[in-house]
Amino acid sequence: MKDKIRQYFDSLVVLPDKQWLEMEHCFELVSFKKGEILLDEHTTCNFIGFMNSGIVRFFEIKNANEKVTAFWFPGEFLSNYRSFISGRKSSHYIEALSDGSFWKLRKDDLFKLYDEFPLIDRLGRKMAEQLYLMVAQRLDNLLKETPEERYKILVDKNSRLLQEVPQYMIASYLGVSAETLSRIRKRIYTK
């Protein structure tokens, strides 16, 4: 799996082998079980992860209701990046929706690599830019697309999501009620 991490990194900044090896040594494989909380609310996020297997969700609880903000699958990064860069406590949880694992890179290790290797520092900036683009796209979808259009985008991007994630979580992610999601699905699949 570390090969996939390197392929992703190389698509942003090609690191010489020596620098990649220094970075590779900092990754730790962390296994998790379904239902396990990987980041708790009111805890500072001190890592960036790269999903190896399984599915996790990013959510917060407001007024006793869960609001799902993101799902992460193998090959994707996970973190509460706002907490990571600000050093503030998280207002969100990261929870495992299945058994799985991720490659964990601690903030202290990453910042040491930034100080030692300018190309890794540049890689960090490129990763931050990619995260910004993902968040901006999500915001655009919420502001400009109808719930049905958002559902179709989700199906096109993550068809596995619909099979492995409870419908109420998908509804929360889309910003609709479970009943509305049911009507959207019925309209789409009866056309």
Residue ranges of alpha helices (H) inside 13-117 are 17-24, 81-86, 107-116
Closest CA to 6 of 20, 19, 16: 20
Residue ranges of alpha helices (H) inside 41-117 are 81-86, 107-116
Strands 100-106 and 28-32: antiparallel
DSSP 92: S
Using alpha carbons only, give the angle 133, 78, 128 rounded to the nearest 5 degrees.
35
Taking residues 122-135, report their average pLDDT.
Answer: 90
pLDDT score recorded for residue 188? 85
Classified as helix, coil or strand, 56 is strand
Taking residues 136-163, report their average pLDDT.
Answer: 86
Taking residues 10-30, report their average pLDDT.
Answer: 95
* Residue 87 confidence class, pLDDT cut points 50, 70, 90: very high
- Whether 141 has a pLDDT exceeding 90, the answer reads no
Residue 184 near residue 151 (C-beta atoms within 8 A): yes
In angstroms, rounded to a whole number, what is the distance separating the alpha carbons of residues 116 and 109? 11
- Whether 160 has a pLDDT exceeding 90, the answer reads no
- Whether 16 has a pLDDT exceeding 60, the answer reads yes
Q: Which residues pair with 65 in a beta bridge?
A: 62
Residue 55 near residue 77 (C-beta atoms within 8 A): no
Residue-by-residue DSSP string for 110-138: HHHHHHH-HHHHHHHHHHHHHHHHHHHHH
Q: How far is CA 99 from CA 35, 56, 85, 96, 157, in A?
A: 8, 9, 28, 7, 22
- Whether 112 has a pLDDT exceeding 80, the answer reads yes
Taking residues 88-116, report their average pLDDT.
Answer: 97
How high is the mean pLDDT of the chain?
92
Token readout for 112 is 């040491």
pLDDT score recorded for residue 159? 79
Taking residues 172-178, report their average pLDDT.
Answer: 92
Lowest mean pLDDT among 39-53, 90-104, 135-149: 135-149
pLDDT for 38-82, tens place per residue?
999 999 999 999 999 999 999 999 999 999 999 998 888 899 999
- Whether 190 has a pLDDT exceeding 90, the answer reads no
pLDDT score recorded for residue 1? 57
Taking residues 157-174, report their average pLDDT.
Answer: 85
Taking residues 139-148, report their average pLDDT.
Answer: 90
